[in-house]
Structure 1
């Protein structure tokens, strides 16, 4: 690299004036208008449930919630219901007495009553050696085995070894827990994660803990919801109240990603820059000097703890956005990561869960800086969600048959293309 380029990092930015860098990188990707059927059709949504969500590994939680044998939590996944208008299944995610992470359908094998009635959105952890059904008192171990049946002698040919909780395939990667309800998954978890496994192998997810978590249920298709979080085109307008200058400046007024990577199987990755023109206010400057904040690490050399970000060494790095197909975004920065889950409920209703994750605080200034970053991000997430109902209303209005996307909206296009491929397979 020439000295001139080294001294002028802006020279390493894409030539947005004369190229469409993502299309130039991936000329094989078609770029026509996108029909709205996949966002509004109930039949298409049912096909997504059957061919995508019931076949693939889905994020269920983090290992920070399963620190000890006997720890467990319950996760409800509406999209996995067995009937179009059926009830929502929940799953017990637990660490058994031997330390193995397991997952089970939350249904007693006597007459089907839920065994664990814990609130799915409590985000906490409980601990039990045994799970007892509140209906008739059947008792299960945290390995799923049936331990006790009241009045057992009155049953006919009951084999307790065959009546344990129904297991679900479960696997862990970098402290992220995934489940798969397909009896015979076509891929291992790592095969489904693809290039993310190698690209993120050194990022310290295992050391990071949830500092803030938020959720909202919105009247919007799940893909429309994800797309709002995997492009920067909206930042100048949607985030004018919270971060009007951080990501939009003279070098990049439209918050274009500095690089975009698309992978087989629907996975994708983007890198965003912070504007070198950005001048944090006095409070933000003060807290950023003392600990990790909302998009960068503390100014004390601790950035070395966060290898694995910025895979193409883009200038003015802010954060990466990694799309894990089908419904998870993981956004690492030098200091932590943001997480986004998008849980389809119906063709036009989605439950979103967002989080920010930092290292465990070691001193009071860490707490202060983390809290400041958490509040800023909370407000930005609120802005992200506020337009989503309106987007769905417009798509369903009858006033359009398709939507168009620009070069730096290639991640939404790749998501759409992959969904179409899997539904039509």
Structure 2
């Protein structure tokens, strides 16, 4: 069993109760933190000893909602029609991109998203995948990229009828169920039961997803009410609120995740809370798509923070989410946002054995070592303020996932990162050319 000791460091807890302790050792054996305290590493015969002086150790960040299929979309050069509302954005951009993805593109998307996440101190990504022309085994491709880099994660396939009707729905459900069951033997990646959004999933599809959830034990991962169109569609075609429709098919479970929810009503939020469902807020994506602001997040019980595919940098995402919240005139402060970010670990615990989210004995060793120089006192009462106003991904020096040092001094052991990025750019250019021929 390998072991790591981080000596004479500062530990900052980002999950309440917030705490800052100085000049302590962090001892890791296998994938577990076994001791944290002054002199805890004395006499430990470690495989790796890290000098933690002037460093700060924090739990790894969790991206509560990601789209790895967007990994090769940065700066995408294609001809696109008008994008004056949310549906046009989907049809002219994202739904063309996902139809252009093949196995190679999905693999390099996964590698790039995983590298970017680890480099930014994100140790777990909750992914939501789509590649309509490559469905069967696509989740293995995503998972393989995650595990090659060393990031922890979940993934799922977004069930939809938007291209081939019920045939496509059935293929998506089959892939979700297959992977959710098979991934239980993987070390770092688990499966959820994914769906695009209620307006592209008929009732029979929701029923099938509910059955897959029961058979696999996995929870739902679904966009809801990202735009008013989703709400209107549900009222028009089903005469029901979105969350009532999900509840009808038994899709609201404590290991499930709903995303966006900008236009859910008060009763729907109460129902989500009553079922202990997780809810991912994605402020930057909402701003980019000009869909509005989710003003009900302060009423959500299990709020977590995601990016909706806008990268895996949770330091950056948290800042944008906090500042947008204040711009809306609402009342949360840094501690509330850091708490929501850390709460992603509670969802991680639904899929992996063990405890996550604190630098304490008995917790999983998913950690960041930061090179952060505080110009003012850093204590328990203001550490969330330092997280939002001072710390950034530029501070991330080394990252530990599952007890393994996956990035050390900003280098990835065993990976030829420049070659991966160069190949990704080559694949991206090929995908863009293909996407440019795909009609909305």
TM-score if structure 1 supplies the norm length? 0.21
Of Structure 1 and Structure 2, which has the larger fraction of its residues in strand? 1
Rg larger in structure: 1
TM-score if structure 2 supplies the norm length? 0.21
Relative contact order, higher structure (CA 8 A, sep 6+): 2
Of Structure 1 and Structure 2, which has the larger fraction of its residues in helix? 2
